[in-house]
Amino acid sequence: MRVLALNCGSSSLRCAVIDTESGQRTAERHEELGGRSHEAVLREWIHAWSNPGCDEIAGIEAVGHRVVHGGESFQNAAIVTEESLGRLKALSPLAPLHNPANIAGIRAMGAAFPSLPQVAVFDTAFHHSLPPHAYLYALPYDLYEAHGIRRYGFHGISHRSAAQTAEKRLGLDGRESRILVAHLGSGCSASAVRNGRSIDTTMGATPLEGLVMGTRSGDLDPGLFAPIAEARETDLEGVTDLLNRDSGLLGLSGLSGDMRELEAAALQGHAGALRAIEVFTYRLARTLASLVVPLGGLDGLVFTGGIGENSAEIRKRTVDWLMPLGLAIDADRNAVHGAQDRGLLSPDGQIPVVTVASDEEAAIAEETAQALASPGVA
């Protein structure tokens, strides 16, 4: 099946047409939004695809969309209907940087190609295997029972794909494997994947919990909400906006939420950039170490996402913190991102540390084809 896979991220837009049988890829596009809306960029893409003579997306049979938050309702990829769109919209307050963009992508493609089936592929679906002791908050239990307030986890499309790729590269049996995945980009999360199933992860009810991110704070003492609101003379909505858009690397550095800019500035002695990098890597390492507990051991650590794949410095700093767990990194392999060693970064004989190129579009296309082969609307 030829699927147009659309990935509306918090700060970027990606797509590719993928033949799920041959793996052939065409019409690949990637655009950083830079303050522009998803709708504006999509209008340009659709206009280009609609021009006479353009055959970039010729022959597509479906459109698959990354959707960040599916709540408890959507545990698998689902064919899009007006009813399901309404349920996704209701979840938008839990993913304010993502679900509205994902819905906008669905609306735009539905208007442009009304005869094509559309499928939503959920970031939360992979983490539905979390046990109750991992997904429950220490809150009155009725908040979960009546309102679904629990930890859901995100970046599941990436975590599943990265873990599966790492298992193949390392020759591990997927039925007996213990993998840590660090998805590091504008948004960041880590997961513990045992025997191919997610058993714990860092993001929670929303994509705000967990690691330090580009503009998101990650874990924060909830007792600070009132003092922050008073200091900034704002309300709960204003504090939530600050934690999502003005915190993380951007807030710590006072310079940028882009790790590439921070690494360059740190080399020039920028104190804020160095501060942000140090907090980012320490918090990441501390969290990865804690995720070894539910795994009961470790067969490999995987770095993926834009930062995870491309930043040798961030990987080195992180793994240096993890030396007590028996992890180490080879300087030469790390400098070239393990390009000559199928992503392997660790010295021979050590617990493997690998990089895996994130390929969410291929995973979206595959799950879209599977959903259409076994139709059923969640």
Q: Per-domain residue ranges for the chain?
A: 2-152+363-373, 172-355
Which three-class secondary structure state does DSSP give residue 223?
Answer: helix
pLDDT for the residue numbered 375? 65
| Backbone φ, ψ for residue 118 (5° rounding) | -120, 140
CA–CA separation, 78 vs 101, rounded Å? 18
Handedness of CA 328, 333, 336, 342 (dihedral sign): negative
Could you give the 3-state DSSP secondary structure of residue 296?
Answer: coil
Contacts of 123 (CB under 8 A, 6+ apart): 66, 67, 68, 69, 70, 153, 154, 155, 156, 157
Please give the Cα distance from 268 to 266 (Å, whole number).
Answer: 5
DSSP structural state of residue 131: -
Cβ(108)–Cβ(46) under 8 Å? yes
**Of the candidates 160, 209, 172, which has an alpha carbon nearest to the alpha carbon of residue 188?**
209
Q: Would you state the structure tokens that stand for residue 278, as one six-digit string?
A: 């140090």
Q: Under DSSP, is residue 14 helix (H, G, I), strand (E, B) or coil?
A: strand
Q: Which CATH code for domain 2-152+363-373?
A: 3.30.420.40
pLDDT, residue 36, reads 87
**Structure confidence at residue 378 (pLDDT):** 47
CA distance 288 to 232: 33
Residue 174's closest CA among 190, 163, 158?
163
Q: What is the pLDDT along the chain (378 residues), one digit of tens a residue?
A: 999 999 987 778 899 999 999 989 988 999 888 888 888 899 999 989 988 888 888 889 999 999 989 988 898 999 999 999 999 999 888 888 788 889 989 999 999 999 999 999 999 999 999 999 999 999 999 999 999 999 999 999 999 999 999 999 999 988 899 999 999 999 999 999 999 999 999 999 999 999 999 999 999 999 999 999 999 999 999 999 999 999 999 999 999 999 999 999 999 999 999 999 999 999 999 999 999 999 999 999 999 999 999 999 999 999 999 999 999 999 999 999 999 899 999 999 999 999 999 888 999 999 999 999 986 544
Query: How many CB atoms sit inside 10 A of residue 22's CB?
Result: 8
Q: What is the pLDDT of residue 306?
A: 93
Q: 186 to each of 52, 74, 305, 317, how far by Cα in Å? A: 36, 25, 9, 18
Which residues are annotated as catalytic? 123
Cβ-in-10-Å burial (0-12, 13-18, 19+) of 86 comes to exposed
Residue 21: strand, helix, or coil = coil
pLDDT at 377: 47
Q: 2-152+363-373 with 172-355: one CATH topology?
A: yes
Short-list 11, 1, 14, CA closest to 45: 14
Q: Is the pTM of this model over 0.85?
A: yes
Q: Which CATH architecture has domain 172-355?
A: 2-Layer Sandwich (3.30)
User: Nearest Cα to 110, choosing from 161, 141, 160, 64?
Assistant: 64
